Amino acid sequence: MRWLHGRKAAPSQNPNHKKSIKWVEDLIAALDPELISKRAVDCKDYARALFFLEPYMEDKKNATPQEMEHLTQTIQSIYTQVDDPDGLEGLSARVMNISLDQQALNHRKAGRWTAAQTWYEIRLAESPSNTNTQLDLLTCLKESGQHGKSDCRYVVVHGRVADLGLQMSS
């Protein structure tokens, strides 16, 4: 990419340079954006991963819902690595069907701990033995300052979150 930008910016381009530029552009266009994005993430080059994956997602207008879900989750995980809540919000606005897990992640990354807590409480009611949801809920309680308070309605018992059924005082 750097070579390509440097060649395009050069004031005098002879025909061989133009052929080289065209060849490199064709080569880059032939590469799979998902593969480039995965390799960029492996190298912790999240900006480059987004650079290739976001336009690819916009071009996939006729993709199946499963493909769009996969792309959305991939982009969302990249945005969480760069700690960009605005990017997550923009992605959420672009995608109509957002799962509860994606909404909760958006709330967490934006620092809206009580909103995320609500989503995790819903998930915990659906699947009380899910330890990941339990940990996510405890993280929200801790970050919102509710963990360890005497009026907290959740407690960890034998490694599981138990709902004491108490009403939170305001």
- Domain residue spans in the chain? 112-170
Sign of the torsion formed by the C-alpha atoms of 94, 97, 100 and 102: negative
Range 79-105 average pLDDT: 71
* pTM, full prediction: 0.52
55-77 residue pLDDT tens: 888 888 777 878 877 888 788 78
Q: Is the pLDDT of residue 23 over 80?
A: yes
Q: Which stretch, 15-29, 81-95, 146-160, has highest mean pLDDT?
A: 15-29
What is the rounded distance in angstroms from the CA atom of residue 130 to the CA atom of residue 118?
Answer: 16
Range 120-142 average pLDDT: 82
Range 30-39 average pLDDT: 89
Residue 162 β-bridge partners: 155
Tokens of 12: 């005098």
Query: Which alpha helices (DSSP H) does 31-167 contain, by range?
Result: 33-42, 46-59, 65-81, 85-94, 100-109, 113-126, 131-143
Q: Is the pLDDT of residue 43 over 90?
A: yes
Conformational region of residue 128, where left means phi above 0, alpha means psi within -120 to 50, and beta covers everything else? alpha
Give pLDDT, residue 159: 52
